[in-house]
Structure 1
Amino acid sequence: MNELWPCTLTWAEVDPLRHPFALDDDAAEELARLVAPLVPSPEVVEERRFRAMDPVTELMASRYGRWACGWNWSVGEGDVDGGVVDAWCCAGHTVTTPDATAPLAVAALLEWRDWIEDLAERFSALAPPSRSDASCDVDPWYWERACTRLVTVVADRTRAESAWYGHCKQVLGWFLAYSGIDEERARDIVDASISGRFGSWSSPDVVVVDAVSSRFARTTDEKR
């Protein structure tokens, strides 16, 4: 079920410019009505645990695009470890009655979308001037600054809880893709830069962030 797993999302799949989205109050109520019949019973949640909300995820992804599969990527040890969503804890703790649970799922989707749009704004502000041409020379300072700021904001939003570094790596890869670097090279750059420096339940200190950012800048410059 990788197609429902937000850890595998690419920037092309979440980019707000490619996937416009708006949900006013009426549309949010309609979505909640569609979600409610898909909310499992507590017994099903206990049996299926992390996959109990798959029908809801399938609905949202089919309706709005694959980016929506991150709706329940909550902070800490939720349905998927290491996310940024606070509106949804996990199926085991959040699922009650369908009518009470459905609006929480909608709120979680909106929170996830807000995060993606926030990242797009940050990428625009942090990208080097020549991002439209990945072959152009770029001052490594741009890459270092971007890495420092993105690692810091992801650590803050995830509260550096369980497996937070997975989304951190993803966000850095998204930024490189936004900046014109192909996905395979972006993965190599991020892997080489982080290389076991981050851990669960531990927010990186300034020295570690500086070291990672410096390596990110050098590696990006080398692999472009």
Structure 2
Amino acid sequence: MTELWANPLTWADVDPLRHPFELDDDARKELAGLVAPLLPDADAAAEGRWRSLYPVTEFLADRYGRWARAWNWSVGEGDIDGGVVEAWCCASHSVTTKEATAPLVVAALLEWRDWLEDLAERFSALAPAAPSAGSSVDPWHWERACTRLVTVVADRTQAESGWYGHCMQVLGWFLAYNGFDEERAQEIVKTAVGGRFASWIAPDVTVVAAVSAGFAGTIGGSR
């Protein structure tokens, strides 16, 4: 069932340009109606926790794409640790009656989608211009991008439990957006972070600066 987890998602999986998505009010109501029968009873959710939501996650991913697997990636210790979604807490607390819970699922999905679209806009704004022939990207561009992305992810996750996992994922997505292959992107991010992030602790200016400098330095201005 790890295929339903959010952590392995790549930028290709979640890039809004590759996966068009839009729900008007009628479509939201329709989706809630489709989700409701898949939801567990409140007692089952408390017992089976996030596993009881597998049918919902499978349905959303099949319908909209792999990016939808993270619909319940809530802040802190929810169904999946260290996310950005606030509309949903976790199966043991958010699941009540099917009629009341289904709209929460839709709201959480939309919140996750909004975050992906926000990231795409940030990536576009932060992407360095293509260097001229014989030159390389000024490391300052990579350093600035890392600083801003770490800051926004720490804010959106509230730097709660496991927040740094998604932060590192977002940095990898940014590199993928800029043409780095996934394996190389993961190496760069892991080297740059170097174990400096921790749960429940928002990185201070010194830590962010060190990570950002390492990010730019590891890239080395080349691809």
TM range (shorter): over 0.9
The answer to whether the aligner puts 1:124 opposite 2:124 as a matched pair is yes
Matching residue of 1:63: 63
**2-side partners of 1:126 and 1:136: how far apart?**
19
What's the secondary structure of 1:166's corresponding residue?
helix
What's the secondary structure of 1:197's corresponding residue?
coil
- Counterpart mapping for 1:30-45 below 5 A: 30-45=30-45
Matching residue of 2:52: 52
- List alignment gaps of at least 5 residues for structure 2: none
Q: By how many angstroms is 1:2 displaced? A: 2.2
Aligned AA (1:176): L
State, as a whole percentage, how many aligned pairs show the same letter.
70
What's the secondary structure of 1:153's corresponding residue?
helix
* Contact 1:130/1:136, CA 8 A, preserved across alignment: no
- Counterpart mapping for 1:1-224 below 5 A: 1-130=1-130, 137-221=136-220, 224=223
What's the secondary structure of 2:220's corresponding residue?
helix
Aligned AA (1:201): W
* Contact 1:189/1:223, CA 8 A, preserved across alignment: no
Q: How many residues align?
A: 222
Q: Deviations over 1:12-62 (max 9, x none)?
A: 010011000000001100100000001101222123222111111111100
Over aligned residue pairs, what C-alpha RMSD do you find? 1.5
What's the secondary structure of 1:6's corresponding residue?
coil
**1-side partners of 2:179 and 2:5: how far apart?**
24
* Contact 2:32/2:106, CA 8 A, preserved across alignment: yes
* Contact 1:78/1:90, CA 8 A, preserved across alignment: yes
- List alignment gaps of at least 5 residues for structure 1: none
Q: Are the structure 2 counterparts of residues 136 and 106 from structure 1 closer, same or farther at C-alpha, using a change threshold of 3 Å? A: farther
What's the secondary structure of 2:175's corresponding residue?
helix
**2-side partners of 1:93 and 1:205: how far apart?**
32
TM-score, reference length from structure 1:
0.96
**2-side partners of 1:220 and 1:145: how far apart?**
13
Aligned AA (2:6): P
Q: Find runs of 4+ consecutive structure 1 residues off by over 2 angstroms.
A: none
* Contact 2:147/2:208, CA 8 A, preserved across alignment: yes
**2-side partners of 1:110 and 1:103: how far apart?**
11
**1-side partners of 2:55 and 2:219: how far apart?**
39
